Structure 1
């Protein structure tokens, strides 16, 4: 009797079995060119070919197609076991069903409408703060999908929609707690929104990892039985490094697991991403939140989808790195088609948040001294545009920062560029004594003085003001000058303690502080100041759209009263080159940000995900008109 090839399962492994043909197959070009990529390197047996566990049913179908073609050409009997056929069929039905549910909710079919109304009735009975209609649909979507993403824009009330999911699931006895993983700056919002959503209808039992100062105390706290009685547990991404196993043990099938600002774990090879994957493995309900899912490219979505679906990623999506990094038009269409059923998205316009006023641009013509150093920097950094951006921003604010290496301000560097590059690789400090003397002779820059004048004007009108900076040096310099002018200022940046942040924010909200000076990478997430402040000055800003959108939404978000104005002011320095050409780095960055924002809003209207371009794309646009 002739031997044959059989594809079957062995201990949940897909295996090709034959008593005599595997060695021949391995020598064939079909194996080397088409099949080998799916084969496991970890497990080998003479008469068996083991396939990688993570490849998923879509690749199973491809493997069958390859072996069928090979067998047909070589007159070999090939069999697929009934178990493998049934598995593929079940996976197709399951995925089609998940997609059907997601698309059905988005199109609000008659079948879905009845279920939504039942859901809405429960959450309305459980929540003091009633969700807007669009928020309630997003909340229903996240509940029904069990594992999904909410990509609604910053300031559109994503946290409240999640509390809607929690209220329904806990009412039904399906969950008893939320475990939220997010940036430390989001903790205040999650706590405040719990009170706002539930008031006296539900008592907050809070666990805050920031209440414990060292790894030992954190671990001990998570081992106490009392922690299992908490209904809101807050962890920041960095804290997971030392308590990963303890957090994993808390997450069970009655946990609603939430990743806030999930774009912070976009790097699949980073430690945050690996921690997130391990923690989310056992959760029955998982929600990923971000207003900017694709800060740079479609590759940014990969880790988010893995957090939600793990090994199911290949079954649901199956996107390769190369396909995501540089997708063709067909790839983009296919990616969006597959992703569409698994995320919801809402704009502030859909929630009827009052429109902002047109931006006010405050141009600053610079002094001869500033222009002289500008032209020196153009020559010094002509081939190092990343460093040039930082150095020009420093020149505009305080030229004395030029005398320090960028690496001395790692926090500032990372915030501007949104890159993992080592600052020492892109910069060195090497100025002649004449240039050092020129830099040291500076007083205040034109941009600095313009900012102070604008704050004084707004303060004289009785208005509270937020000033957005990048550099910690700028935050301190502005605060010091405003205090000299008799204007009280509170400052918040990376090293500001949790307790101090709360104190400063409370004073600002109570009008005990006139001006709040901060930076987006510290305070641009989940802090609501729209009830007390309507004017924001952008003293320094980078091409990081995430930071811009989130900073804007501290004062422009759901809950603003009808007719309430919101005003942004953008300071823009204007340099002059040696040949008389006027150039504004701020203006170029600002225009680039507007382009990115339009791309994002257009994508939301079309219910697709946008790709906002790489750092290299941004730099090319910013310096396009400047001869370097």
Structure 2
């Protein structure tokens, strides 16, 4: 082939498939774009002038990618499907026994009609129940006969319990949780994202699914928002490519921005995420469903921002730390990962000056040389005996108040040091404690998540649950026993905040109760910048999802804002420091 013709052909591939050129007249095309390769090679010019040969695997990949694109074309062209009067009977015939709410019925009908897609309904809307309903209908239609669920460990309990609650006796699928060698008898397998990316687990899944047609479900799919660049996303994309049907579940599909939505939709429709996330694609919203809290008939939650003034000793430490960051401008350009740690340290300091000390607990490593003026270590030593962390004292006040009324309180903090301090401070209320170090189920351990949750739910002496949102912010329902939560601190992660809110604001709220969330916000601290950043992200999410709940959250009134902050947020932070 003449070089000029090769360059013309290569240009087509580079522009239309996202291919990469290795410089040796070879192009590497993402497998989900193989259908576009077939389209280019079918054209009279430039490809029609030469004879092309396909390997068996390449032809299969092209056929699969073309099928996904055709399926998306059909979904976008067809009006949204509403549930018919016969859906309940069809579900019963398929072995599904639970009665769906009207909004759930319509969502299930749309997902079955589309052959999969995204379920972006708010946390607490019954996404697990809806998924089992979709699976029951697809199973009855002969489209799938197995289901693989990728979910955080905190959601394991729900997938096992809901199977029993959703299906009639005799039709309950056998569910296995994270087996090393899954049984061929098991109809539903559940793994977490970390294990699903391991070669050994992938081999076990291949053996279990051999000769079968399985649906893959990505629960809390925002965990894979980095796409193939992240470990979670890479393993998930691999499984999406071999499944007969795909469902992605998350109430926060774009926790930090529209780019998150691209990666998540790519799991439901491989290779089509950018197209479906684009505001220029007509009817792109037909590729997913979303039930809002208004659609569920849930009363609006009460969100309160309580300003907390740091005492003088505490504020001296905070200002010293902030000055240290401000006076090291080279960090922003040369060591962005160092800035990440420094900002996390600043968030921690706004709640508790004792957290500024270097720690090596595996959760967070503090940088130790951002001191200004007098050494920070001396300031900390001086204030240890006299500083009164206002947020922790406020948390203790709320815990005492709720315990006196016989009510339970959920307290969130992102920092293990705060967990330890609050556990000592709230000892009279026998707090349950769940962090990343708490095993899910381990009878040989002093305690585990199952026992701590059971104690909080059923022990009247235990009136407080202390938890990190990174650990318990997903997959757990607490609304039957607890309707109030308190946030000692927050990060720039909007998805984490929304997920935490919905642990106590869900379908089935006890009659006469109102969900309430209290956010403690340090006056003249980084907390105020975090609040402003979260409101911006919620507004951006609302523009795509058109959810009145998100819009209302941006209007929460306030008195006198670790992970993942953008360049704009960093600039906002620097303005705060100055």
**TM superposition score normalised by structure 1:** 0.75
On the 8 A contact 1:464/1:535 being kept in 2, the answer is yes
From 83, 90, 103, the equivalent of 1:122 is 90
On the 8 A contact 1:105/1:141 being kept in 2, the answer is no
Q: Which moved more, 1:473-482 or 1:584-593?
A: 584-593
From 426, 436, 440, the equivalent of 1:498 is 440
Cross-structure match for 2:106: 137
Deviation readout 1:199-224 (Å, 9 max, x if unpaired): 64633523112xx6xxxxx2xx33xx
Residue 435 (structure 1) shift: 2.5
Residue 178 (structure 1) shift: 2.4
Is 1:337 the counterpart of 2:278? The answer is: no
Deviation readout 1:491-514 (Å, 9 max, x if unpaired): 000010113111111121114321
Distance 1:103 1:161, change over 3 A: farther
Residue 90 (structure 1) shift: 12
Cross-structure match for 1:370: 314
On the 8 A contact 1:469/1:518 being kept in 2, the answer is yes
Is 1:380 the counterpart of 2:324? The answer is: yes
Is 1:616 the counterpart of 2:562? The answer is: no
Residue 567 (structure 1) shift: 0.9
RMSD between superposed Cα atoms in Å:
3.8
From 126, 145, 163, the equivalent of 1:157 is 126
Cross-structure match for 2:557: none
**TM superposition score normalised by structure 2:** 0.81
Deviation readout 1:231-250 (Å, 9 max, x if unpaired): 33211111231422111222
Distance 1:378 1:36, change over 3 A: closer
Cross-structure match for 1:403: 357
On the 8 A contact 2:264/2:273 being kept in 1, the answer is no
Deviation readout 1:51-100 (Å, 9 max, x if unpaired): 958444556666778946xx9xxxxx96999x9xxx99999898456433
CA distance in 2 between counterparts of 1:258 and 1:588 reads 36
Distance 1:118 1:283, change over 3 A: farther
Please state whether the residue corresponding to 2:347 is helix, strand or coil. Answer: helix
Please state whether the residue corresponding to 1:228 is helix, strand or coil. Answer: coil
Please state whether the residue corresponding to 1:615 is helix, strand or coil. Answer: coil
Residue 468 (structure 1) shift: 0.6
Structure 1: state its 5+ residue gaps: 1-21, 72-76, 213-217, 325-330, 414-422, 575-582
On the 8 A contact 2:81/2:109 being kept in 1, the answer is no
On the 8 A contact 1:251/1:283 being kept in 2, the answer is no
Instruction: Note the 1:145-294 alignment, pairs <5 A.
Output: 145-198=114-167, 200=169, 202-209=171-178, 218=180, 221-222=181-182, 227-240=183-196, 241=198, 242-251=200-209, 253-267=212-226, 268-294=228-254
Distance 1:90 1:619, change over 3 A: closer
CA distance in 2 between counterparts of 1:94 and 1:137 reads 23
Is 1:23 the counterpart of 2:21? The answer is: no
CA distance in 2 between counterparts of 1:146 and 1:555 reads 32
Residue 295 (structure 1) shift: 2.4
On the 8 A contact 2:117/2:247 being kept in 1, the answer is yes
CA distance in 1 between counterparts of 2:459 and 2:176 reads 30
Distance 1:174 1:370, change over 3 A: same
CA distance in 1 between counterparts of 2:268 and 2:362 reads 32
Residue 181 (structure 1) shift: 0.9
Please state whether the residue corresponding to 2:433 is helix, strand or coil. Answer: strand
Aligned length: 532
Distance 1:230 1:97, change over 3 A: closer
Cross-structure match for 1:585: 526
On the 8 A contact 1:354/1:563 being kept in 2, the answer is no
Is 1:106 the counterpart of 2:80? The answer is: yes
Distance 1:245 1:138, change over 3 A: same
Is 1:604 the counterpart of 2:549? The answer is: no
Cross-structure match for 2:444: none
On the 8 A contact 1:179/1:256 being kept in 2, the answer is yes
Instruction: Note the 1:380-529 alignment, pairs <5 A.
Output: 380-382=324-326, 383=329, 386-405=340-359, 408-411=360-363, 413=364, 428=369, 431=375, 434-483=378-427, 486-499=428-441, 500-512=448-460, 513-529=462-478
On the 8 A contact 2:256/2:494 being kept in 1, the answer is no
CA distance in 2 between counterparts of 1:201 and 1:595 reads 49
Deviation readout 1:93-123 (Å, 9 max, x if unpaired): 9845643345535264xxxx6xx44444211
CA distance in 1 between counterparts of 2:157 and 2:67 reads 42
Deviation readout 1:246-281 (Å, 9 max, x if unpaired): 112223543222111112122212232222233233
On the 8 A contact 1:287/1:308 being kept in 2, the answer is yes
CA distance in 2 between counterparts of 1:619 and 1:44 reads 42
Deviation readout 1:325-352 (Å, 9 max, x if unpaired): xxxxxx9423x53743322222111111
CA distance in 2 between counterparts of 1:120 and 1:103 reads 26
Cross-structure match for 2:293: 348
Residue 167 (structure 1) shift: 2.1
On the 8 A contact 2:119/2:250 being kept in 1, the answer is yes
CA distance in 2 between counterparts of 1:368 and 1:391 reads 19
Distance 1:387 1:381, change over 3 A: farther
Distance 1:106 1:239, change over 3 A: same
Distance 1:234 1:606, change over 3 A: closer
Cross-structure match for 1:19: none
Please state whether the residue corresponding to 2:242 is helix, strand or coil. Answer: coil
CA distance in 2 between counterparts of 1:606 and 1:514 reads 33
Bigger CA radius of gyration? 1
Residue 148 (structure 1) shift: 1.4
Deviation readout 1:547-585 (Å, 9 max, x if unpaired): 1111111110112245421111111222xxxxxxxx132
Structure 2: state its 5+ residue gaps: 55-60, 332-338, 442-447, 555-562
Instruction: Note the 1:69-88 alignment, pairs <5 A.
Output: none
On the 8 A contact 1:297/1:614 being kept in 2, the answer is no
On the 8 A contact 1:183/1:260 being kept in 2, the answer is yes
Cross-structure match for 2:58: none
